[in-house]
Structure 1
Amino acid sequence: MTSRLRLLPAAALAAAALLTVTACTTSPPDRETVQLTAVTPEAAVTTAASGTAAERAVETSRVLWRSSPVVVLAPADDPDDVAEAAEQGERIGVPVLLAAAGVDVSAEVDRLGATTVATVGGSTSEDAVPVDVDDAEVVPAADLEPSGDPEADSSTLVVVSGTDDAAAVATARAAGAEVLPLPEGVTDLQQDASVVSAMGASEADGTLVVGSAFADRPHLEWSVTAARSGTELPGGGQRIFPDRRFVALYGAPGTSALGVLGEQDVPATVQRAADTAASYQASSDRPVVPMLELIATVAAGDAGPDGDYSNELDPERLRPYVQAAAAAGQYVVLDLQPGRTDFLTQARRYESLLTEPNVGLALDPEWRLAPDQVPLRQIGGVDASEVNAVSTWLADLVDAHSLPPKLFVLHQFRSSMLRDRAAIDLSRPELTTLVHVDGQGSQPDKQATWRALHDGAPEVAWGWKNFYDEDEPMLTPEQTMTEVSPVPDLVTYQ
C-alpha cells in the first residue's frame, strides 16, 4: 500500500498533537510519528446539522480538523460499534467517522490525509471496511496508542442536541473542543437558563452547533451569540414567553398624574413593583416578574418648540430606573407617545437605553396623531408599515449587540389604533410582540374589548391593564388571573 501521509509545516499548525500508530502484524510493528492538526473555525458560528449522524460526523470533522493521518471508522447502523468507535476515537485523539449510504466518508478520509483507518468490532479486513480506503492501512483501533504529548486544542464550544451524535462528540473532544450536551428535549439555546449560563461561561473562541434540530434555523448566529453572552432576562433564560408573566407599574418619573410609577422615588418604585408582582404569584402558573413601564415621551396639549405635541424625556432621567430595575431583577419597557412625529424618530432617541438587555419598547398609537390632530381631542392610530419600521430597527439593534430578545408592546383598545394589524411583521425572533389592551371602565365593557381585539388577531402575547381609579371595579390579582381569558402575559397598573 502506498502512503499518502501529508504533513504540514509546524509553523502552519493551528493546534497539534503527536500520535504513535502501531499496526497489528505477525512481526514487530513499525512505528511512525505523525502529526495531527485540529483547528478553530474562522466563522464565529458553524453548524453540523444535516439529517443523519453520519453526515454530521463528517461535518464536525471538516470544521474542527485540518489533518489527521488516522481516523476511526464504524458502520452507522450498529449502535454498539458506534459507541465503541466514539470511545476509541476520544482515547486515541482522532476523528471518528460513520459509514452510511449516501455519505462520502472516503472524501473526508482523503481530505484529512489519513493513511490508517482504525476499525472496531474485531474485523481488520480491508474488505470489511464499508468505504473505499484502498490506500489506507486497516488496523484495530484498540491497538493504537496515543502519545503522552499535549492534546489537540480547538478553541471551540460544541453544542450538541440529542443523543445520536456520539461520533461527532468524540471527534470534538479529540480536537480539544469544549462539548456542551443540551438537556433532553432542549433545542432552543436561549430557552433554558442553564444552557445560557453554560454558554456564557465558555471561553472558547468559536461555536459549533451539532444536531438536525438546527437545520435551517433562522437567525441562528444571533441566537448563538446572544446565548454566548450569558446575559439572562429577569426571571432566567433568554426567551420571554411562556417562561414568565409580567406585572408592571405604569407612569412617568416625577409625576403621579400619569400613573402609579411616578408616585414615589426610584427605590420605592422598584419595591412597589416587586410587591405588586408578588401578589400574583399564588394565582399564576408561571413565575411572575416585576416590570416598570416608563413613559419616555409624553403627549402634550401644546405643540412645544419642535411642534410635535410630545415632550421627550432625557434618556439619562430614565437611566436610574433602568439600573435599579436591573439590579432588582425587573424588566423595563419604554413607552412612546409621539404626537405628530413618528415612532421610529422617537425610538432612536433612546437607543442607549434599548441596548440594555432588560429594556423593551412600547408604542402607544392612541397618541400617534395626524398633522391636524391634537392629543385628547382625537384618538390616534398607526399603519402597520410604521410599526414594521420600528420593529425592524429594534430587531437589528438586538442582533447587532447580541442581546436577548426584547418585548415589543403595541397598545390598543380600539381596532383603528393598529390599522392593518394583520400586516404587522412578526417574523423577527429578536422581538416578542405583545398587544396591550388598555381600555378602562366597567368590567363588562373591558371584557368585551378584550374579546373583540382577540378576534382574528395574529399570534402574539397579550397584556391587560388595571386602572386604580377608572375601572368599575378594578379586578383583584386572583380575579385578573381567573376572569380574564386567555390569561394575560402582562398585567399593568395605572
Structure 2
Amino acid sequence: MNIGNHNVATNEKIIATEEKGLLVANNLSMDETNNESKRFGNNTMNTCNINEKKRNMGIRTYLYNIIIFVALFYSEASTKSYCLENTNEVPFPKNKLNKKVNDSDKYILPDRRIVAYYGNFDSRKMGVLGEYSPLQMWNKLKTEAAQWNAADPTTPAIMALHYVAIVASNYPGNDGQYINRMNKYQIQNAISIAGMEKDTILFLDIQPGLSDLRYEVAKLHSYLKMPNVHLGVDPEFMMHNGNIPGKVIGSISSVEINYIIDYLSNLVEEFNLPPKVLIIHRFTKRMVIDFDKVKKSKNVQVVLNMDGFGAPVLKKTKYSQVISSEPNAIYTGIKIFYKNDLISPPHRLLSKQEILNLEPKPLYIQYQ
C-alpha cells in the first residue's frame, strides 16, 4: 500500500506523483499543454525557455505589476510566468531583547484551527492554488473553513494560503542547487491574493533541494518579517550527499529545525511580531530526525504535518506512525489531497469528523 511517496509494505520510497509538485527547468510554466513537457518518475515536468528572463526587464516588469492589481479586482489571475532573479542573502536578524513579549492572545494555536490551500499560482499541477482563479479559490476555501467551523465550533477556523516559494527541481539551474526560486513579483502576487480576505495568513514553503536551508530561509527575510507571513519546510526535497530531488526522499534534523526556530524567534523579537507558525511536512519517520530534540519557543509554534496521500484507513495509520508517535509534537496537521486521496477504494476523502477523532487532534488542515 502506498501513502504519499512511501511504500508502507516494503518501507521503500516511490517517486513522487505530479500532485506533490516537483517541477523542472528555470521556472514554473503555466502552459500545461506544452508538447515539450518532460517526465520524471511519475512527475509531469513543464519547461520554460531561458529567454523568458527578458520578461523581468524594463516595461514588462512595470506592466506586470499593473496586471496583478487589475487581475485581483476582476478575478482573472495573471497567467504569466517569470524566470528567477538573483537576490543577495540577508543576514541573520539581530536579537533585540528589549522588545515586548507577545501577549497570549496573539497566538494562532491552539485556540484556532488553520485551514490552508496549498500550491503555486503558476502551476496547475502543484495544488488548488494554481487550479482556479483567485475568486474561485476563495469561494472553495471559505466553504471549507465554514464546514470546519460547523464541525468544531469550539475552534474557529482561520484561512491560510500555503504557497511554495522555493520549488525543488530535477534541473540543476545556474547555481546547481536543483531548486526554482519564485521571484519577488510572484511572491508579492501571493501576498496580494492572501490580502483579499481579512485575517488570512500566508505560508511560504521551502523545498530546499541541494541548497543550504539557512540560505533559503534568509532569502525570505523581507517577507517573514511581515506579521501575517509564516514558514513551511518540506524535508522530502531537502537533499543530502548530492542526491537529486525526487530520486530519494530527503530529510531534516532537529538541529536544522532548531536553527529555523531561532531565526524566526529573533525576527519576532526584533520586529515585535506575533508568534510565527512553522510547518514541517512528514510522511515517513526518516524524513524528520530526532524530532524529540526540537526546542520549545514562546515565539514559534511548530506544527508536524502528515502530508502523505492514500485511502482513509491508510492515512489514519500513517498519522499514528509519524505524528501521534511523537510526544514532542504539540501541534499537528494533516494534508487532504482532493485527487490522490480518491485513487484507492473506498474513493473518498477523510471526513472532518474522522480527522477530529485523530489523536492529537490536528489544528492545521492543508488541502492540495
Give matches, 1:251-330, under 5 Å.
251-284=119-152, 285-328=154-197, 329-330=199-200
Q: Partners in 2 of 1:372 and 1:348 — Cα distance?
A: 22
Query: What SS class does the counterpart of residue 335 from structure 2 fall into?
Result: strand
> Is 1:488 the equivalent of 2:357?
no
1:353 is aligned to 223
Q: Displacement, 1:374?
A: 1.2
Cα displacement string for residues 41-83 of structure 1 (whole angstroms, at most 9, x for unaligned residues): xxxxxxxxxxxxxxxxxxxxxxxxxxxxxxxxxxxxxxxxxxx
Q: Displacement, 1:222?
A: 4.1
What amino acid sits opposite 1:322 in the alignment?
Answer: I
Residue 479 (structure 1) aligned to one of 350, 353, 362:
353
What amino acid sits opposite 1:276 in the alignment?
Answer: E
Give matches, 1:369-380, under 5 Å.
369-380=239-250
Indicate how the Cα distance of structure 1 residues 326 and 430 shifts in structure 2: closer, same or farther if over 3 A, else same. farther
2:317 is aligned to 448
Cα displacement string for residues 239-288 of structure 1 (whole angstroms, at most 9, x for unaligned residues): 11121001111001121101111112334433432222122111012111
Q: Displacement, 1:481?
A: 3.8
Does the Cα contact within 8 Å between 1:283 and 1:477 map onto a contact in 2?
no
1:458 is aligned to 328
2:238 is aligned to 368
Query: What SS class does the counterpart of residue 301 from structure 2 fall into?
Result: strand
Give matches, 1:82-93, under 5 Å.
none
Indicate how the Cα distance of structure 1 residues 309 and 484 shifts in structure 2: closer, same or farther if over 3 A, else same. same
Query: What SS class does the counterpart of residue 360 from structure 1 fall into?
Result: strand
Q: Partners in 1 of 2:191 and 2:351 — Cα distance?
A: 25
Does the Cα contact within 8 Å between 1:406 and 1:430 map onto a contact in 2?
yes
What amino acid sits opposite 1:435 in the alignment?
Answer: L
Cα displacement string for residues 124-180 of structure 1 (whole angstroms, at most 9, x for unaligned residues): xxxxxxxxxxxxxxxxxxxxxxxxxxxxxxxxxxxxxxxxxxxxxxxxxxxxxxxxx
Indicate how the Cα distance of structure 1 residues 249 and 391 shifts in structure 2: closer, same or farther if over 3 A, else same. same
Q: Partners in 2 of 1:271 and 1:354 — Cα distance?
A: 27
The structure that has the greater radius of gyration is 1
Q: Displacement, 1:476?
A: 5.2
> Is 1:331 the equivalent of 2:201?
yes
Indicate how the Cα distance of structure 1 residues 391 and 237 shifts in structure 2: closer, same or farther if over 3 A, else same. same
Q: CA RMSD in A?
A: 2.1
Aligned length: 266
1:185 is aligned to none
Give matches, 1:78-477, under 5 Å.
222-224=99-101, 226=102, 237-284=105-152, 285-328=154-197, 329-426=199-296, 428-453=297-322, 454-471=324-341, 472=344, 473-475=347-349, 477=351
Does the Cα contact within 8 Å between 2:268 and 2:275 map onto a contact in 1?
yes
Q: Displacement, 1:344?
A: 1.5
Q: Partners in 1 of 2:230 and 2:193 — Cα distance?
A: 15
Does the Cα contact within 8 Å between 2:235 and 2:251 map onto a contact in 1?
yes
Does the Cα contact within 8 Å between 2:304 and 2:329 map onto a contact in 1?
no
Q: Displacement, 1:360?
A: 0.6
Q: Partners in 2 of 1:486 and 1:459 — Cα distance?
A: 9
Query: What SS class does the counterpart of residue 248 from structure 1 fall into?
Result: strand
Q: Partners in 2 of 1:268 and 1:468 — Cα distance?
A: 15
Q: Partners in 2 of 1:265 and 1:461 — Cα distance?
A: 31
Q: Partners in 2 of 1:237 and 1:325 — Cα distance?
A: 22
Q: Give the alignment's TM-score, normalised by structure 2.
A: 0.68
Indicate how the Cα distance of structure 1 residues 467 and 439 shifts in structure 2: closer, same or farther if over 3 A, else same. same
Cα displacement string for residues 384-434 of structure 1 (whole angstroms, at most 9, x for unaligned residues): 1111112211110111000000111111111111111112122x2111110
Choose between structure 1 and 2 for higher RCO, CA contacts under 8 A separated by at least 6 residues: 2
Q: Partners in 2 of 1:220 and 1:289 — Cα distance?
A: 30
Q: Partners in 1 of 2:336 and 2:270 — Cα distance?
A: 36
Q: Displacement, 1:342?
A: 2.1
Q: Identity rate of aligned residues, in percent?
A: 29
Q: Displacement, 1:483?
A: 4.1
Query: Which ranges of structure 2 fall in alignment gaps of 5 or more residues?
Result: 1-95
Query: Which ranges of structure 1 fall in alignment gaps of 5 or more residues?
Result: 1-218, 228-235
Q: Displacement, 1:478?
A: 3.0
1:118 is aligned to none
